[in-house]
Amino acid sequence: MAGRASDCEDPNLQKYESSLYKFKDERDAIQKKTFTKWVNKHLIKANKRVDDLFVDLQDGHSLLSLLEVLSGETLPREKGRMRFHMLQNVQTALTFLRYRKVKLVNIRAEDIVDGNPKLTLGLIWTIILHFQVFAPDGAWVLVTTVVRSPSLESSRQCTVNYRSE
């Protein structure tokens, strides 16, 4: 009779897997904190702020406000508080991003309204990449405001007129 899988597992493997999960949790917490700061840096222009990224983006209002600040455009929104209104607001944001040629992979309005951590972080990262790294004219821009170094500065000079395909 074969033993259960847990009877045969190596204690070192269990310790490794436990450490790996802890690392992933810490990484997710750091991303959440960092992305929340980035969002708030822009939302301050709309006199708004988020405390919990996974909760405060669920109704779509803060997400729409963020996109309005970043794009300079005004977006329509539902004022109600029912799930339908939340889904509509988030869908408006996702549709706007697709219109702006932002590639959204497997991110649905339901995921954000339900507070899915991985997909919410993925959405914010995608927004950061689009609005922080790419210039409005489609040119590739290095984010030298975060890290300044001579090699980055010379790279920036060499790629200033580079257009992404």
- This prediction has a pTM of 0.70
- Burial string for 47-68 (b: 16+ CB within 10 Å, else e) reads ebebeebbebbbbbbbbbbbbb
- 140 DSSP β-pair partners: 134
Going by pLDDT thresholds of 50, 70 and 90, the confidence category of residue 146 is: very low
pLDDT of residue 149: 41
Can you tell me which residue has the tokens 């954000």? Answer: 112
Q: Concatenated DSSP letters for 5-19?
A: HHHH--HHHHHHHHH
Q: Is the pLDDT of residue 80 over 60?
A: yes
- Calculate mean pLDDT across residues 117-126: 97
Going by pLDDT thresholds of 50, 70 and 90, the confidence category of residue 143 is: very low
- The pLDDT tens digits for 129-140 are 999 875 555 555
Q: Is the pLDDT of residue 51 over 50?
A: yes
Could you tell me the domains of the chain?
Answer: 12-133 (1.10.418.10), 134-165 (no CATH)
pLDDT of residue 6: 52
- CB neighbour list of residue 66: distance below 8 Å, 6 or more residues apart: 39, 42, 43, 46, 127
pLDDT of residue 8: 59
Can you tell me which residue has the tokens 């005004």? Answer: 74
Q: Is the pLDDT of residue 98 over 70?
A: yes
Segment of 23-27, 29-33, 60-64, 152-156 carrying the highest mean pLDDT: 60-64
Q: Is the pLDDT of residue 33 over 90?
A: yes
- Calculate mean pLDDT across residues 151-161: 50
pLDDT of residue 148: 40
Q: What is the mean pLDDT of the chain?
A: 82
